Chain A
Amino acid sequence: MADVKLTGVHKYYGNVHAVRGLDLTISDGEFAVLVGPSGCGKSTLLRTIAGLEDPDDGTIAIGGAIVNDLRPRERNIAMVFQNYALYPYLTVNENIAFGLRARKTPEIEIRKRVSEAAEMLGIGNLLQRYPRQLSGGQRQRVAIGRAIVRKADLFLFDEPLSNLDAQLRDEMRTEIKRLHHEITTTMIYVTHDQVEAMTLADRIVLLRDGKIEQQGAPLELFERPRTGFVAGFLGSPSINLIPATLTAMNGGLSVVFGSGESLTVPPAKATALSSVAGREVIVGIRPQHFGRAGDGPLRDGVVPYSAVADLIQPTGTRTFTTIKIGGVDAVAELQAHDVQSHGERIQLAIDLNRMVLIDPATGSVIA
């Protein structure tokens, strides 16, 4: 068990500045997910924590001790690789026992721990097989088994689910979450998949261009993104971003789109924004904040909007419907039967209490 503290970490690959002065603290027992688009430095950062890469500047501390000069084997960490990295010429049993044997663990202890891990992961019947005889999901379990028997201070996962098909990925994601509940070791998990990040993390660390864009609890990032990038990265389907101008209108504040349409900003948000009226903004509205308008009166901050359904993508539970807002394509997530056919005019209600307004110049969220 250990906390992890990175201070001013830089990493260059030739001319590429992969990690740019990164500070990060992950507390003991936390499940932290490093997420971001490819090339954001998340894998590099994980490999630097593991000791497979040396940072060019800054310090890395695990459990309070600076480990910059320690080799990976001396850091007491365990890692699960994207391609599993199982040893192809050893049986599953020997794969899992490999790290224990390398550390001269007594044979009785090895047997006990291997069978415990195999039990936990449901691979007890596969112990005598070789990796090539296993399916992707089974290999993934073996890779995790190899990590947990070591009883390491810190678990590192490098995109462990990206080689699995969708159904298996959901299954393994649940298992990894359960695993963390059972063994409560500090875990750092790298993924480019925002669903994995949202579902697994105690804390999401969203990286962009080698720097932390924003970090916090999943719902905090989802509901209160600090930049347009964060708002756009999290959520599926992703947030609708529509350019507009903030304009004082009828004693309140409205966002006016290029097409001339406008939406009234809820009074609660408007007061903070009165000083910036006249400014260009990007309006961010999540697909989940659309709904079919009912007969009763609308709540505060919920505005009516009439639109024509263009593309309709039913998923079973929800139906993603493409409409135009202010002349721009936007996706509304509606109930399964809210919309029937292409070209149908639908009356929508948009909850603007949770919209975000982004400064197009800086990309940061104004309100």
Chain B
Amino acid sequence: MTFSLSFNGTEHRRPSRLGRVLEDRLPYLIVAPAILVLLLVGLFPLIYSLIVSFQRITMTDNDTSFAGLLNYAELFRDTRLWASLGHTAIITAIALPLELLIGFLMAQLFIDRMPGRQLFVALLVLPTVISPIVAGATWRLLFDVRFGPIGEILSFFAGEPIRILWTVNPAYVYPAIIICEVWQWSPFMFLLLLAALSNVDQSQLEAAEIDGASYLRVLRAIILPAIAPVIAVACLIRGLDLVRIFDIIWALTEGGPGSMTETISLYTYVQGFSQFETSYTAAISFLVIALLTLITTLVLKRMEIAR
């Protein structure tokens, strides 16, 4: 340890034996409470739910006997589970590239200095500040077939009344969810990519301009390789968030019509808190954790290779 305790603040006294011990252990003592809290709220529930996933606990009776791998075997027979994973994949596969593309285009638009730039950036980032459940509820009102302005606007341009049941009609529920999701989170991509783009070496871009390269060539040879690490991290963050998507869908469709827009998070919630299948829900959670760990590891590995 290179620091020492100074008790009266004026000079360093030769520390006593106790003082020396304290001095050596002090860093550990200081971080100990934080570690303890972390273990308590992080590791303990994780291990406990792992145990629960091997039991027969439901909230409707007292059976806590161990069931071995029964719950995990059940996972593979549960078609609604795999359907919900499919829904999650669809939403992620469409929303993530859209957010990336829109975020990138916005960033390109705002990369040049212009008057009022900071104000516009601040306004554009506003959606990400709103709680997703509020965003979902707001969009539900916007989509509303009787009072919603979106129907009004479409009717105005079409010249005839247009009534779309955005949150009920099977053809429109996914577009509705994705519009809301993309509206809320494209600004996040925009912000990260704006920062990444402003770090692209200006003289490389100037050299390419003098060399006579087209925008696409500059994009491919200079800009994209330079911002690739940021794109990867942004996609990872948004991708993980999208796999866990809940609030927006809960507010818009509650997973309906039927279970058509039920994602894995919604299904887990339904199993746990309306079917009361506690142990089975724990097993689902571990399936999700395993999947996300796999994806994250693969992405990080690819980034490592790229570097």
Instruction: Mark A residues whose CB is within 8 Å of B.
Output: 50, 52, 71-73, 77-79, 81-83, 85-90, 94, 98-99, 101-103, 146, 150
Contacts and interface: CB of A to CB of B under 8 A. Distances in A.
20 contacts: A52-B210, A72-B210, A73-B209, A73-B210, A73-B211, A79-B210, A85-B206, A85-B207, A86-B204, A87-B207, A87-B208, A88-B225, A88-B226, A89-B221, A89-B222, A89-B226, A90-B221, A94-B221, A98-B211, A146-B207
A79 B208 CA distance: 10
Contacts of A81: 203, 206-207
Interface in B210-249: 210-214, 217, 221-222, 225-226
A67 to B, nearest CB: 13
A103 B212 contact: yes
- Top 6 A-B pairs, shortest CB-CB distance: A99-B211, A89-B225, A85-B203, A73-B212, A102-B213, A85-B207
Contacts of B211: 73, 98-99, 102, 146, 150
B74 interface: no
Contacts of B225: 88-89
B17 to A, nearest CB: 54
Interface string B166-209: 00000000000000000000000000000000000101101111
Contacts of B203: 81-83, 85
B211 to A, nearest CB: 4
- B contact patch SS: helix
Contacts of A73: 209-213
A54 to B, nearest CB: 13
Contacts of B208: 87, 98, 102
Contacts, number: 64
B214 A102 contact: yes
Contacts of A90: 221
**What class of interface size applies to chain B in its complex with A?**
10 to 19
B206 A52 contact: yes
Contacts of A94: 221
Contacts of A83: 201, 203
Q: Most chain-A Cβ atoms within 10 A of its Cβ — which of B201, B211, B225? A: B211
B212 A85 contact: no
Nearest to B214: A102
Contacts of B213: 73, 98-99, 102
Contacts of A86: 204
A52 B210 CA distance: 9
Contacts of A85: 201, 203-204, 206-207
A87 B222 contact: yes
A71 B221 contact: no
Contacts of A99: 210-213
Given A52-B210, A79-B210, 15 more contacts: A52-B209, A72-B209, A73-B212, A79-B206, A79-B207, A82-B203, A85-B206, A85-B207, A87-B207, A88-B226, A98-B221, A102-B208, A102-B211, A146-B207, A146-B211
A90 B210 CA distance: 17
A146 B203 CA distance: 14
A71 B226 CA distance: 25
Contacts of A72: 206, 209-210
A87 B204 contact: yes
Contacts of B217: 101-102
A71 B209 CA distance: 8
B209 to A, nearest CB: 5
Interface in B91-144: none
Contacts of A52: 206, 209-210
A134 B203 CA distance: 19
Nearest to B206: A52
Contact of A77 (B210, B221, B226): B210
A328 to B, nearest CB: 44
A85 B214 CA distance: 17
